[in-house]
Structure 1
Amino acid sequence: MTSSINSVAVIGAGQMGVGIAQAVALGGYRVSLYDVDADRLPVAMGVIGASLARQVERDAITQAQADAALAAVSGVSSLAEAGKADLVIEAAVEDEAIKKAVFADLVPHLGPDTLLASNTSSISITRLASSTDRPDRFIGLHFMKPAPVMKLVEIIRGIATSAATYDAAVAFAESLGKTTTNAEDFPAFIVNRILVPMINEAIYTLYEGVGNVASIDKALRLGANHPMGPLELADFMGLDVVLAIMNVLYEGLADSKYRPCPLLVKYVEAGWLGRKSGRGFYDYSGETPVPTR
């Protein structure tokens, strides 16, 4: 544990928030998990328990570590309770207006020394920080999905982020067993600036009939040694998330090469968001995923 951070709150009990809570609890911290929909919290605890059990099965952690981590996470029903933590990590949906609304509601409940972080995968840290009362104590902590397994955390400083906040954020991420990389505060930072346009290009390749879902994914898995094909990865990330990041790039950099593929837009409009909705570039209703095109 870092000396100044003993307790952490995670705002948002979606896939990323739950994964971050698990990773932080395994790092030895007390974790408060909050979601605007309180019904999500018991489900989230179940997801964390099942994920820890899988890690024990793989011998990644011991049963004692799993038990301690699960005991360290507690659901809280108000932002007032979440605001008591030394570090608050926002993991709401990738929508700037929603994130700013969360911070507006959260800030009155924070102690003067509380650090604020956003897990945004694409949105300006400077803009988010400016909507709070502590831009100097605000930073981007972008965990990769799935957060308990992936080693990298991108650290993004806003224009006002202090050196002390940056040092504390790096020490915190490293205390979780993560490796950090520094990204400047430009749309989508490093990982998604490179990864998501590649996924978008794979969707264009499908849209234009260059290959079908299976052939595109096979080509990148075996031809580029990627662990997942780009369309499989898009389904894993959530097609709504992929579209949100492409829109941030397109609007933030005003370059036509970042235009979201119309097929991606159509899938999101249909509610075909990938694994989480049961259908995207693959249909997940059966034993094994089946390509939808």
Structure 2
Amino acid sequence: MKNITVIGAGTMGNGIAHVFAQNGFKVDLVDVSEAALEKGLATITKNLDRMIAKERITESEKSETLGNITSLTNLKSGVENSDLVVEAATENIDLKLKIFKDLDTLSDTRTILATNTSSISITQIAAVTKRPEKVIGMHFMNPVPIMKLVEIIRGYSTSDETTEAIMDLSEKLGKTPTEVNDYPGFVANRILMPMINEAIETLHHGVAGVMEIDTVMKLGMAHPMGPLQLADFIGLDVCLSILNVMYDGFKNPKYAPSPLLVNMVTAGKFGVKSGEGFYDYSESRKAEKISFQFKK
């Protein structure tokens, strides 16, 4: 595989494009929004500059990486010569199904279609294509250029050949691929999201404040980031979407999202990307405590 297409220039998409391009692959980065593409390329450039500052890459390697990326708003042009398409659009099942229907029509029949979904059924996505054996989950962790893990999720019909190809490819990116089966939340989010949800419930019931909860988990459990701050960085809307997928998939009340999480998302408090979540990011990247008041 030499030609890679990444669908979506947001946080995950530009990170995935960055990693492929830095490892010598030709990448078509596709988004419906020209502004999103510009923002995505600016993020990649900034992250490469950070790597230069840390003496991890050279200026010429930065130029080579950026030279490997072509930005496009036309999906057909972006996938017609692709060996692998990695979809990294919003975590919305209807949107993903539409994208995969289009990808199945527009791309060559040899092309492997991967999704970066963090919770949605690979089998369900594959079912809208005529090549379910070539559909697979490729769940990168955020931030993609730094985190080593890639969850490789087999759908019901994903072939051994497809799985082996994506496992090998992930290793060429310097990642550690881990194969898991297709159940809601897979492994990472099936374990992580209930912990985040419980932290939100702990806050909701007034057991402790935002910074106190995060401090306990950081200093007591050696987590690099507290669960509430981590939720802000993931996106509270994304956390809610994943919990809903697991709740719908398992019909188990332990996956039901906290009412506080639901209310915050409804109010447009998504975390870092909206400027406010459990912490305030409006004036700087430094998290500042938000005081919550609960009505009895």
- Please give the TM-score of this superposition, normalised by the length of structure 2: 0.96
Residues 110-166 of structure 1: per-residue CA shift (max 9 Å, x gap) = 112111000000000011011112101111000000111100000000111111101
Partner of 2:294: none
| Cα distance between partner residues in 2 of 1:286 and 1:90 | 32
Partner of 1:290: 288
Partner of 2:247: 250
Partner of 1:181: 178
Maintained 8 Å contact 1:25/1:73: yes
| Cα distance between partner residues in 2 of 1:55 and 1:265 | 37
| Cα distance between partner residues in 1 of 2:144 and 2:266 | 27
Partner of 2:106: 109
The code of the aligned residue for 1:115 comes to: I
Query: 1:49-198, aligned counterparts within 5 Å?
Result: 49-83=45-79, 84-198=81-195
Q: Secondary structure at the match of 2:156?
A: coil
Partner of 1:199: 196
How many Å apart are 1:183 and its aligned residue?
1.0
How many Å apart are 1:68 and its aligned residue?
1.0
Residues 10-63 of structure 1: per-residue CA shift (max 9 Å, x gap) = 001111101110011112100000112232112211111111111121223232
| Cα distance between partner residues in 1 of 2:282 and 2:108 | 46
| Cα distance between partner residues in 1 of 2:201 and 2:183 | 24
The code of the aligned residue for 1:235 comes to: D
* Long gaps (5+) in structure 2: 292-296
Maintained 8 Å contact 1:139/1:157: yes
Maintained 8 Å contact 2:113/2:135: yes
| Cα distance between partner residues in 1 of 2:255 and 2:105 | 38
- Please give the TM-score of this superposition, normalised by the length of structure 1: 0.97
| Cα distance between partner residues in 1 of 2:182 and 2:58 | 38
Q: CA RMSD in A?
A: 0.9
> Which of residues 10, 19, 25 in structure 1 aligns to 2:15?
19
* Long gaps (5+) in structure 1: none
Maintained 8 Å contact 1:82/1:88: no
The code of the aligned residue for 2:289 comes to: P
Percent of aligned positions with the same letter in both sequences? 48
| Cα distance between partner residues in 1 of 2:95 and 2:259 | 25
| Cα distance between partner residues in 1 of 2:110 and 2:289 | 50
| Cα distance between partner residues in 2 of 1:232 and 1:289 | 8
How many Å apart are 1:103 and its aligned residue?
1.3
Q: Secondary structure at the match of 1:88?
A: strand
| Cα distance between partner residues in 1 of 2:50 and 2:74 | 30
| Cα distance between partner residues in 2 of 1:12 and 1:230 | 26
Q: Secondary structure at the match of 2:150?
A: strand
| Cα distance between partner residues in 2 of 1:34 and 1:205 | 40
Q: Secondary structure at the match of 1:148?
A: coil
| Cα distance between partner residues in 1 of 2:235 and 2:248 | 20
Q: Secondary structure at the match of 2:86?
A: strand
| Cα distance between partner residues in 1 of 2:253 and 2:268 | 25
| Moved beyond 3 Å, runs of 4+ | none
The code of the aligned residue for 2:288 comes to: V
Maintained 8 Å contact 2:118/2:139: yes
Maintained 8 Å contact 2:33/2:73: no
